[in-house]
Structure 1
Amino acid sequence: MTRSPKRFRRTASVLATGAALTLVMTGCTQLHTTSPSSVRNAAAAVKAADQGKTGAVDCRKAKCVALTFDAGPSENTPRLLKILKEMQVHATFFTLGKNHIEKYPELVKQMDAEGHEVASHTWSHKILTKVDASEAREELERPNKAIQKLIGKKPTLMRPPQGRTNDDVNKLSKELGLSEVLWTVTAKDYTTNDSKLIQKRVLDQTKRDGIILLHDIYKGTVPAVPGVIDELKKRGYVFVTVPQLLAPGKAEPGKVYR
């Protein structure tokens, strides 16, 4: 991603602050979130004809984990996609619109073509709980339209910037057919370019049904990915996309998953 150093540092600072604040928000708020296992358990109680497909991996039996990347695509994404393809891992990409989707449309197409889940991280990373209703709607509608134009389908998942959401955001997301996805593991890759440290942070936190948050815009992140994948595979984990993590259940628009 071509940016002036000053502009890149400013963007990185915004995203870093957001990620740090999210941990506080999700740790202290009364926000209701739904776990992957509860979605799968609920699906088991309905008729098979009404259930989603489990796909190649059944996370009711396998020890699954979802690898997710925020704020791309960027100039680092081609290398990441190559790594994921070589290691036979599918991820979920929460893409940004401005300066990302619009700058790297072919990478968005490649993500979809190679079996990854293309999701939304809004258009320009505005905090949805701090803008008015019309701005929040635009932040969610614009990437939906851009992604649909590129891959022929709208995203069904959205990660709110800084993980900040509320009843109004939930209601708007439901109207637009979007489910909100937070995370359970963060490498805090916005604080360091040390790939070994990023890898260690992920490995120390990951448990079954984990949703790992990384950013493919930072220099140290992509080099850490092979080590993360290798070690978690050794520990018996299977990598899936977020929809696969929930299957045979399905994410419901307007709900928040973590």
Structure 2
Amino acid sequence: MPCATRKTTKTGARFRALTALTALAAACLTLTGCARDGTAPSAARAHPAAGAPAAFGTVDCRRAKCVALTFDAGPSENSARLLDILKEEQVPATFFLLGARHIEKYPELVVRMAAEGHEVANHTWDHQILTRIPAERVREEIQRPNEEIERLTGQKPTLMRPPQGRTDDTVHRICKELGMSEVLWSVTAKDYTTTDSELITRRVLDQTSRDGIILLHDIYAGTVPAVPGIIDALKERGYVFVTVPQLLAPGRAEPGKVYRP
């Protein structure tokens, strides 16, 4: 996708605050206020949901070596190119979308994500740290993207990722009330710290194992160019790419629970 210098400069300014917020994401899971525990995909698969099929779609992750590719904080001006790559590679992904300045700005990309078989999920409205705001604002941060995504796609999201992975009992309770499950990650490329696509690729490949949930951000310049190499290398290693719901099947994500490898 063409990208003018002026537009790139504006994009960098627009996401500067978001970069600051995500800078601690890799260390988050060891800090107070972040989720330390959660249900592993294998544990979810061990408890099939009532009426669920033996496998989700054409992939059974009880047998296949599955991995889930996830992207936070879009859509962005880079998302169309990313969707082109995923379509060419026949790889599904899970998109945790932001509302303000993202869903608002690129509604056609939200529609395209859903239409092309990706899982469209929630990353809050304005990237507020949910453990630092009152319960009523937590509810608004989660509910507003749900309403917009449902309006655009006809499907209400069931998955959300709390910014920086920071969550607590209040967030769990509100998610349960809203029918949402929280999804964290096991692989981070720290793509908010570098524009080096080769480095992003190496970081992902070094950390990925079976049932991995890979965290990337298509808002950053180095990320989308790294995606083809990540996909090709992991396919060579025998991995099958699935969405997060496919990773959990024949189990289903339960509202109020946290899922992480």
What's the TM-score once normalised by structure 2's chain length?
Answer: 0.92
Residue type matched to 1:141 in 2? Q
Question: 1:180 aligns to what SS in structure 2?
Answer: strand
- The superposition leaves residues 100-156 of structure 1 with CA deviations (integer Å, 9 ceiling, x where unpaired) of 001000000000000000000000000111100111010011001000000001100
Question: 1:93 aligns to what SS in structure 2?
Answer: strand
Quick one: structure 1 residues 195 and 50, their matched pair in 2 at CA, closer, same or farther if it must change by over 3 Å? closer
1:9 aligns to 2:11 (yes or no): no
1:244 to 243, 246, 256: 246
Correspondence for 1:133: 135
Correspondence for 2:206: 204
5 Å matches for 1:1-258? Answer: 3=10, 5-17=12-24, 19-25=25-31, 31-43=36-48, 49-50=51-52, 53-258=55-260
Quick one: structure 1 residues 24 and 30, their matched pair in 2 at CA, closer, same or farther if it must change by over 3 Å? closer
Distance 1:244 1:11 in 2: 29
Cα contact 1:51–1:249 (8 A) shared by 2: no
Cα contact 1:63–1:237 (8 A) shared by 2: yes
**Unaligned stretches of 5+ residues in structure 1:** none
Deviation of 1:50 after TM superposition, in Å, equals 4.8
Deviation of 1:21 after TM superposition, in Å, equals 4.1
Cα contact 1:92–1:242 (8 A) shared by 2: yes
**Unaligned stretches of 5+ residues in structure 2:** none
Distance 1:82 1:6 in 2: 26
Question: 2:256 aligns to what SS in structure 1?
Answer: coil
Quick one: structure 1 residues 144 and 52, their matched pair in 2 at CA, closer, same or farther if it must change by over 3 Å? farther
Quick one: structure 1 residues 58 and 167, their matched pair in 2 at CA, closer, same or farther if it must change by over 3 Å? same
Deviation of 1:222 after TM superposition, in Å, equals 0.3
Distance 1:135 1:30 in 2: 20
What's the TM-score once normalised by structure 1's chain length?
Answer: 0.93
Question: 1:129 aligns to what SS in structure 2?
Answer: helix
Aligned length: 253
Kindly, what percent of the aligned residue pairs are identical?
66
Question: 2:69 aligns to what SS in structure 1?
Answer: strand
Residue type matched to 1:230 in 2? D
Cα contact 1:25–1:163 (8 A) shared by 2: no
Quick one: structure 1 residues 78 and 140, their matched pair in 2 at CA, closer, same or farther if it must change by over 3 Å? same
Question: 1:59 aligns to what SS in structure 2?
Answer: coil
Cα contact 1:68–1:212 (8 A) shared by 2: yes
Deviation of 1:7 after TM superposition, in Å, equals 3.4
